Amino acid sequence: GEDVEQSLFLSVREGDSSVINCTYTDSSSTYLYWYKQEPGAGLQLLTYIFSNMDMKQDQRLTVLLNKKDKHLSLRIADTQTGDSAIYFCAELGSGGYQKVTFGTGTKLQVIP
Amino acid sequence: IAGITQAPTSQILAAGRRMTLRCTQDMRHNAMYWYRQDLGLGLRLIHYSNTAGTTGKGEVPDGYSVSRANTDDFPLTLASAVPSQTSVYFCASSEQGNNEQFFGPGTRLTVL
């Protein structure tokens, strides 16, 4: 079945760039997503990329997709303490329904 | 305010008891989902519904049931709770297209 993997933890200093990585197994993924979960809350969509794109930039966020290696990354420029959260990678597979598979989440800690 | 709500916010339950977690959305989304979130395991899909009147099993359906009598409501029932069902439960909904999922605030369930 589909699998999405992420490292569990990342720590960066305020003002530095953060790069969160993700690998997935479903070669027929159509959309890949990054969700953000703040403490005590549900997930919120941060950004997404269509599978025929290599890169998407949205203000401080840059998403890179290497479809050959099935690797997705999220770069946050000028990381702020408010960026501290858990970030989930997810992919929309080719199942009989709109099946989205989530990774385990990467907890980003921003040190002031 | 448009969105997705869940009730209760948290619950402590004795093993063997029956419990229904409620989920309501007012965005007229066709698809709805129930996930559980456990440390180190990310989000796992329990059940889903593509449209009112239909439901399907996700990755971890055992011990849970759902119904979808109308578009807005998607309750999750634990017929006889067990301690391994202690978790945070998230309901989500989505529409077709890029399948962005909108999440509720979650229900923290503890089964003793």
Check residue A78 and report its DSSP letter. S
Return the pLDDT at B36. Answer: 96
pLDDT at B88: 96
Name the DSSP class of B63.
Answer: T
For B46-97, give the DSSP string: EEEESSTT--EE-SS-TTEEE--SSSSB--EEESS--GGG-EEEEEEEE-SS
CB contact under 8 A, B31 and A98: yes
**Tens digit of each residue's pLDDT (9 = 90 or more) over B47-79:** 999 899 999 999 999 999 999 999 999 999 999
Q: Which of B90, B96, B100 sits opposite A42 (nearest CB)?
A: B90
Write the residue in B50, B100, B103 that is nearest to A42 by C-beta: B103
pLDDT above 90 covers what percent of chain B? 86
pLDDT over 70 at A31, yes or no: yes
Q: Are A86 and A34 in contact (CB under 8 A)?
A: no
The closest of B32, B11, B36 to B23, measured between CA atoms, is B32
Instruction: Confirm or reject contact between A39 and chain B (CB < 8 A).
Output: no
Name the closest residue on chain A to residue B44, using Cα atoms.
Answer: A102
Distance CA A13, CA A79 (A): 8
Tell whether B93 is within 8 A of chain A (Cβ): no
State which residue of chain A sits closest to B91, comparing Cα positions. Answer: A42
CA diameter of chain A: 46
Query: Is residue B14 scored above 90 in pLDDT?
Result: yes
Of the candidates A4, A31, A43, which has its C-beta nearest B103's C-beta?
A43
Q: What is the pLDDT of residues A1-30, one digit of tens each?
A: 568 999 889 999 999 999 999 999 888 888
Give pLDDT tens digits for A37-71. 998 889 999 999 998 899 999 999 999 999 999 99
The whole-number pLDDT of residue A28 equals 82
Q: Do A43 and B100 lie within an 8 Å CB cutoff?
A: no
Distance CA A5, CA A93 (A): 15
Subunit contact A100:B48, Cβ cutoff 8 A? no
